[in-house]
């Protein structure tokens, strides 16, 4: 289990904390109030399977076929927001352009192996919810490489992938999660054997089309190009 460095900075001042408690009570948080589901799973970097990250997804439905998730490194008040994931049905995935598909990963193995689970939710309830997840595809970017020990979100967004077969997840990570959440992947996997993945099978272009994918930064012209007109200080 990796240790957790503190985010650098002074403790929150009382005045600041009081103000934010007040704003929390006054303001509208409609998009946040729609977040209804906590899923725990593992991601690894799309170019490095050996770097695996425990990921706590807090998800809301845009509709029956699409979820959007905030990803935290821990499910507690000090959890660091490390990334986002979008989950779409097979129907929506199949309509994506072919050049987009490799950025998305399948969820079938994660669900059927028991590794993706809903902490705190009884088995029958979460299995019903997971029936709609097994056939979906996800697109995940992480912005904060906590597994490297980064105290701050440095560098570029990282495309992430998820588990697709046995033998990928480190035993130590699996055992640690099972112990902390009081679950057993093997038992849950047996309970989920009936679930079906994508109707058309896992698309060959998904999961990076089997290749590693890495983000790179490129300096580019900044529109508009007419700098004389654009640079006038107001």
Partner 1 sequence: MTTESSVLTLQVSPSFTTLQQELAAPRTRSFPCRSLAAPPPPPRHLFQIFISFFHLPVYNLRPLFFPFTTDEKEKRKKGSRLQAIMASSDQPSGTIACDAPTPGQPLTMGTQVLDAWAKMMQGMKPIKHIQQHVCTFAMYSHDMTRQIETHHFVTRLNQDFLQCAVYNSDCSSARLIGVEYIVSDRIFEALPPEEQQLWHSHAYEIKAGLWVNPRVPEMMQKVELQNLAKTYGKFWCTWQVDRGDRLPLGAPSLMMSPQAVKLAMVKPELVQKRDEKYSVSSEGLKKSRVEIEEPEWINPNADYWRKVHKGFAIDIEETEMKRMAPFP
- Tell which positions 126-185 bind partner 1, by CB under 8 A: 126-129, 132, 139, 141, 143-144, 152-157, 159, 161, 164-165, 167-168
205 φ, ψ to 5°? -85, -15
If residue 15 lies in a helix (H) or strand (E), which one and from where to where?
helix 14-26
Cis peptide before 224 (omega within 30 of 0): yes
Residue 26 binds partner 1 (CB under 8 A)? yes
Q: Tell me the site size for partner 1, rule CB under 8 A.
A: 137
Residue 14 binds partner 1 (CB under 8 A)? no
* Residue closer to partner 1 (CB basis): 80 or 178: 80
* Residue closer to partner 1 (CB basis): 93 or 178: 93
Chain position carrying tokens 């499910």: 75
Q: Cβ contacts of residue 194 below 8 Å, gap of 6+?
A: none
* Residue closer to partner 1 (CB basis): 179 or 211: 211
* Minimum distance of partner 1 from residue 196's CB (angstroms): 6
x/- letters, 86..115, toward partner 1 (CB under 8 A):
x-xx-xx-xxxxxxx-xx--x-xx------
* Residue closer to partner 1 (CB basis): 26 or 179: 26
* Residue closer to partner 1 (CB basis): 179 or 222: 222
DSSP state at residue 29: -
Residue 118 binds partner 1 (CB under 8 A)? yes
DSSP string of 92-141, one letter each residue: HHHTS-TTTGGG-EE-HHHHHTT-SB-TT--HHHHHHHHTTTTT-EEEEE
Quick one: tokens of 228? 């004389």
Residues in 204-233 at the binding interface with partner 1, rule: CB under 8 A: 204, 206-208, 210-224, 227, 229-233
Residues in 59-88 at the binding interface with partner 1, rule: CB under 8 A: 61-66, 68-70, 72, 74-81, 83-84, 86, 88
Q: CB of 50 within 8 A of CB of 44?
A: yes
Residues in 34-53 at the binding interface with partner 1, rule: CB under 8 A: 34-38, 46-50
Which residue from 129, 54, 132, 56 is spatially nearest to 88, judged by alpha carbons?
132
* Minimum distance of partner 1 from residue 1's CB (angstroms): 19
Identify the bridge partners of residue 100 per DSSP, sorted by sequence position. none
Residue 187 binds partner 1 (CB under 8 A)? no
Chain position carrying tokens 């129907």: 91
């Amino acid at each position: 289990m990796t240790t957790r460095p503190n985010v650098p900075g002074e403790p929150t001042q009382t005045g600041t904390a009081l103000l934010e408690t007040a704003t929390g009570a006054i303001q509208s948080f409609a998009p946040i109030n729609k977040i209804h589901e906590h899923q725990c799973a593992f991601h690894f970097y799309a170019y490095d399977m050996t770097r695996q990250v425990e990921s706590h997804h807090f998800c809301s439905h845009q509709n029956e076929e699409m979820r959007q998730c905030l990803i935290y490194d821990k499910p507690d008040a000090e959890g660091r927001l490390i990334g986002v994931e979008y989950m779409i049905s097979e129907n929506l995935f199949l309509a994506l352009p072919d050049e987009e598909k490799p950025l998305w990963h399948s969820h079938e193995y994660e669900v059927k192996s028991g590794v993706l689970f809903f902490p705190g939710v009884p088995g029958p309830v979460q299995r019903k919810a997971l029936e709609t997840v097994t056939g979906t595809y996800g697109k995940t970017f992480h912005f904060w490489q906590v597994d490297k020990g980064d105290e701050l979100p440095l560098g570029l967004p990282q495309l992430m992938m998820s588990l697709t077969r046995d033998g990928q997840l480190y035993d130590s990570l699996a055992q640690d999660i099972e112990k902390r959440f009081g679950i057993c992947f093997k038992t849950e996997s047996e309970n989920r054997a009936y679930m079906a993945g994508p109707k058309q099978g896992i698309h060959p272009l998904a999961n990076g089309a089997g290749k590693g994918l890495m983000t790179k930064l490129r300096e580019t012209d900044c529109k508009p190009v007419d700098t004389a007109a654009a640079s006038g200080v107001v």
